Structure 1
Amino acid sequence: MENYVKLAKMRASIALLAVSGVALAGCASGARGGEGGGNASENELLQVTPAATGEIDKVTWNSTYGELASLDPIKAFNYPENTIVSNLCESLFQIQPDFSIEPNLATDSKTEDGKTWVFGIQDKVTFWDGTPMTVDDVIYSINRHIDPAEGSYWGGGVVSNIASVEQTGDWEITVTLNEADSALPSSLATIIGVVVQQEFREAAGENYGNPDAGVMCTGPFQVGDWKQGQSITLDRYDGYWNQDRAAKAKQVEIGFVVDPTAIANGLATGEIQGSYDVPLPALSQLSTSEKGNLYYGEGMQIMAIIATGNGAFGDPAVRRALTRATDREAISETVYEGTGTPSRSVVPQSPWNQFPDVAELRDEELPDLSYDIEAAKEELKAAKVDLTQPIKIVYPSERSFYADILNEMANGAKELGITLEPTGIPSAQFGAFFSDPEAREGYDGFVTTNYLSAPDPLLHLASVAQTGSDQNYSNFSDPAVDAALAAAQAETDPAKRAELTVAAEALVMEQQPWVPIADLAVRMYMDKSITGAPASFIYLYYPWAADLGSAK
């Protein structure tokens, strides 16, 4: 890994390596609330679960992907860290269960050109030690991402576009960008916008974020006892500034159990009361449980094949042909046990649901990706590469479900007269594919289980397909795509911006630098004694544990 790692590269590789079971694929839905159970193909995906009826003394939860490495927000780049830090440290804006963005530590935002942004700041927020949050703390926290000495994992992309952050009023800051970015508030709903106490950070030095030193933030929970290798306890902060969203649980203990069987048994017996990212092998057991409910939520995750730019897979016509020749419905029904939906784009469907006015436009503009061998053969006629060379797609060998997916793709390739070779390598080596171009030499593509950090399709499209962007692993560059993305990024009118984003998405999907396979849904289980946690994929940046409470 690079010393300075752009978010997406580190996030994608670590998230994939951490997977202990197959993520669920899901279909889009605007459903809210409701009971769990069954499977995702039989039920509408949820955004929330039934609200808690009251407080509860303690909840026992589990972190399926294991123990976090640090509590420092700028080092929160993966499931274990983000799932916990999201309950401790707050951002200027906040992603809601329906994927909308609301002011949080910020009161509002204003811009005329997308380059100069003015943000009002809450004036009655306190840290856990009772001291007030100041504008200086806000500016310091954003600048931590810019300062190379801090080593933020969020230092590329949006952050690299920040020219300055200045105080321009008693409770006001102005962020000036190098290039227009109409989605800045969405980015400030992620770790980029999280505020920490400057004095505490500077006093803690190198120990900041470690079990002994911890952090000092403003969220509804504060750090309790971190038992390394076992669990971390979050204690309710009774002085929390936003009492309308105060935590209902006095304490939440989050364990670090990663074995799928142990997780399943712990949830089934009630030893563990709840968990996100329920391992696939546990679903059948938990779906019939009389002690709890299994929920499927709207996601922002996708499983895809990333082109390296090498070999036959480097030709867009070959990628388009393989997409049409791959029975992605079969993958959803078998590998994902009937819970999957084939992706229609490199952007998962759920983030698009908040833009219903462009749904018809997307239907018109996006290419057909449905399984059709004859259509695949037609696509292949445009190929300009040697089709006799085998296509090597790499996956981490410990994750056999990737082999199942690639074998299905290989079956389709065979019908086209192409040889596709699934190539397994140890996970310890696989991580380098996301950060080291030399590691990708000799291979044509590699798998990813990826997610959007903010519910904005444009941010993900730019990350994947803009020249020089952080998840552009094949050096893909197309002037028409760059121009379309830039036009959307500069547009401040939401409706026009959505239309321009669709135009850019259509161009990207004609090239397919990533071959999309399946959208992935959230899978969550809760004991019947508790309820309230959001079901949608916001738990990495939203204080989900604060919504947990008694179901009785």
Structure 2
Amino acid sequence: MTNKKPTNWTGRDDAMVENAIRRGATRRDLLKLLAASGVAVGAGSSLMMSATRAVAETPVFGGHLKAAGWSSSTADTLDPAKASLSTDYVRCCAIYNRLTFLDEFGQVQMELADSIESADAKTWTVKLKSGVSFHDGKPFTSADVVFSMNRHLDPAVGSKVNSIAKQMTEIKAVDDLTVEIVLEESNADLPTILSLHHFMIVADGTTDFSKGNGTGAFMMETFEPGVKSIAVKNPNYFKDGPYLDSFEYFAITDNNARVNAVLSGDIHMGASIKGRSRRMLEGQDHVWSSVTSSGNYTNLNIRLDMEPGAKEGFIEGMKHLINREAIEKSVLRGMATVGNDQPVSAANRYHNSELAPKAFDPEKAKAMFAKSGLLGETVPIVASDAATASVDMATVVQQAGSEIGMNFDVQRVPSDGYWSKYWLKAPVHFGNINPRPTPDILFSLLYSSDAKWNESQFKSEKFDKMLIEARGALNEDLRKEIYWDMQEMIANNAGTVIPAYLSNVDALSKSVKGLRPNPLGGQMGYAFAEYVWLDA
């Protein structure tokens, strides 16, 4: 049975009603609650029935779950500082913990931390949970937090969040269960930043990450990079759960093969299926689909420091040649919203709602290509199934170009090795960016001059200064104003074309229960293994 809900039904409403029922709310109480939230009567009745069933569901312990992502690599890692693929995030979420995590509403919750407090948003005191142990039996202490945070500052580590972590100027243990973090400038987002996958806590002194020794819900039994992993339940986990005895994770790069594996029962979950494949699930009583809209996207990256991106007019031409509506409707089958060439989606409270997408204007694009001197030349575009829908998007661009005398050679390369061989390297190529909870994180990772993942090599001293200013702005109105200006700078000056924000669709067996949406992406923000159960 497909997971169909009324159009005005949201994950927040769902959880709101469930929580109210658990607190003993009557039907009259629930109707008042829903009316106050603007939920229609008909939708509200359906929502109450579903929530009542959800509350009645009791998690089942036991079982082995098999799940497949869409991309993997021989560079797969259990080192959270170096994680870059969804497969890395899934494994790291299972075997490690963070100081904080984000719930389905984007609210910060404590995990390994008991509290994180600051009077000025510059000096932070982190109180840690007691009684937590690593898989090898070592007690968790402040030394592990200090070591884990400092790794991101060491250039030799190659942390993916080095540019974010560099704001931490001092990280010290006050006692065994207290850490003090001092920032270069005030940043009220620190508790949210610490919920990122890369800030998982590893044991003090760890150099060998092949075993994945963490404090998490699962212990790694088998890890074969680019092939598969098998993790088993941690019997000494400090939280309730996990419910599963074990889970296996690997990649099935072909979209239809991933869907068919769910339909046939070979796997319980197929992550990130294409919109057109969702129809294969309709009418099937033994499967369902989970839809998460949290701001992930596939983007076309044009490097500003290489030709053709270095040619004046080329990037502007590309932005007007992208038929965003066609991509949203035909390529993504409506499972997306049109993007405006900057990474902060409408799901984020800082989204610049007045920044309109570049219009599809082939004649203007033609004029820009002529200005660059490239009209009639052949320009390679590297695409791969590793970047969601990028091959189809490239084909749309190729067809539009052919109608104005602009030639694009779509070079479809294998998924295996795409992220290490082509992403960030090829002059024109696609990326696939997972959701991030704050503009500061997105800008620091992708657009600051020293960003590890600066996909188009966009560099602006003014932008860098604005990033620091917004980070320390405790006045929300000022912060919003700065972020809006920064989004406009990216849309107009960076070489990243973001045609649409994707709705992530995961296909699941009906036996999989407990999966919830999460602002960090599909598969419950990649942390599904700890929270789901199998209901035979």
1:4 counterpart residue number: none
In structure 2, how many angstroms separate the alpha carbons of the residues matched to 1:256 and 1:508? 33
Q: Is the 8 A contact 1:219 1:237 kept in 2?
A: yes
Query: Superposed, which structure 2 residues align to 1:176-187 within 5 Å?
Result: 176-187=182-193
Structure 2 residue corresponding to 1:363, chosen from 348, 353, 356: 353
In structure 1, how many angstroms separate the alpha carbons of the residues matched to 2:384 and 2:212? 37
Relative to structure 1, the CA distance from residue 317 to residue 464 in structure 2 (aligned partners, 3 Å threshold; closer, same or farther) is: farther
- Cα displacement (A) at 1:423: 3.9
Count of residues in correspondence between the two structures: 486
Query: Superposed, which structure 2 residues align to 1:77-476 within 5 Å?
Result: 77-148=84-155, 151-154=157-160, 156-169=162-175, 171-198=177-204, 201=206, 208-210=208-210, 214-226=211-223, 231-243=228-240, 246-278=241-273, 282-309=277-304, 310-311=306-307, 313-314=309-310, 318-349=314-345, 351-352=347-348, 355=349, 362-364=352-354, 366-372=355-361, 376=364, 385-386=372-373, 388=375, 390=377, 392-396=379-383, 402-413=390-401, 417=404, 419-424=406-411, 426-427=413-414, 431-436=420-425, 440=426, 443=427, 445-452=428-435, 454-476=436-458
Structure 2 residue corresponding to 1:526, chosen from 508, 521, 528: 508
In structure 1, how many angstroms separate the alpha carbons of the residues matched to 2:97 and 2:451? 27
Relative to structure 1, the CA distance from residue 228 to residue 468 in structure 2 (aligned partners, 3 Å threshold; closer, same or farther) is: closer
1:547 counterpart residue number: 531
- Cα displacement (A) at 1:317: 5.5
Relative to structure 1, the CA distance from residue 462 to residue 239 in structure 2 (aligned partners, 3 Å threshold; closer, same or farther) is: closer
Relative to structure 1, the CA distance from residue 84 to residue 477 in structure 2 (aligned partners, 3 Å threshold; closer, same or farther) is: closer
1:56 counterpart residue number: 61
Cα RMSD, aligned residues only:
3.8
Q: Is the 8 A contact 1:468 1:475 kept in 2?
A: no
Task: Point out which structure has higher relative CO (alpha carbons under 8 A, 6+ apart).
Answer: 1
In structure 2, how many angstroms separate the alpha carbons of the residues matched to 1:544 and 1:282? 22
- Cα displacement (A) at 1:166: 0.6
Relative to structure 1, the CA distance from residue 119 to residue 258 in structure 2 (aligned partners, 3 Å threshold; closer, same or farther) is: same
SS at match of 2:94: coil
* TM-score, normalised via structure 1 length: 0.76
In structure 1, how many angstroms separate the alpha carbons of the residues matched to 2:424 and 2:261? 36
Residues 1:490 and 2:467 aligned together? no
Q: Is the 8 A contact 1:332 1:342 kept in 2?
A: yes
- Cα displacement (A) at 1:435: 5.0
2:79 counterpart residue number: 72
291-300 vs 535-544, which moves further: 535-544
- Cα displacement (A) at 1:343: 1.2
Relative to structure 1, the CA distance from residue 75 to residue 480 in structure 2 (aligned partners, 3 Å threshold; closer, same or farther) is: closer
Q: What code does the residue aligned with 2:153 have?
A: I
Q: Is the 8 A contact 2:144 2:204 kept in 1?
A: yes
Relative to structure 1, the CA distance from residue 231 to residue 156 in structure 2 (aligned partners, 3 Å threshold; closer, same or farther) is: closer
In structure 1, how many angstroms separate the alpha carbons of the residues matched to 2:359 and 2:431? 21
* TM-score, normalised via structure 2 length: 0.78
Q: What code does the residue aligned with 2:330 have?
A: T
In structure 2, how many angstroms separate the alpha carbons of the residues matched to 1:157 and 1:315? 29
Q: What code does the residue aligned with 1:162 have?
A: M
In structure 2, how many angstroms separate the alpha carbons of the residues matched to 1:521 and 1:28? 16
In structure 2, how many angstroms separate the alpha carbons of the residues matched to 1:371 and 1:435? 26
- Cα displacement (A) at 1:384: 6.2
- Cα displacement (A) at 1:399: 7.3
In structure 1, how many angstroms separate the alpha carbons of the residues matched to 2:117 and 2:186? 13
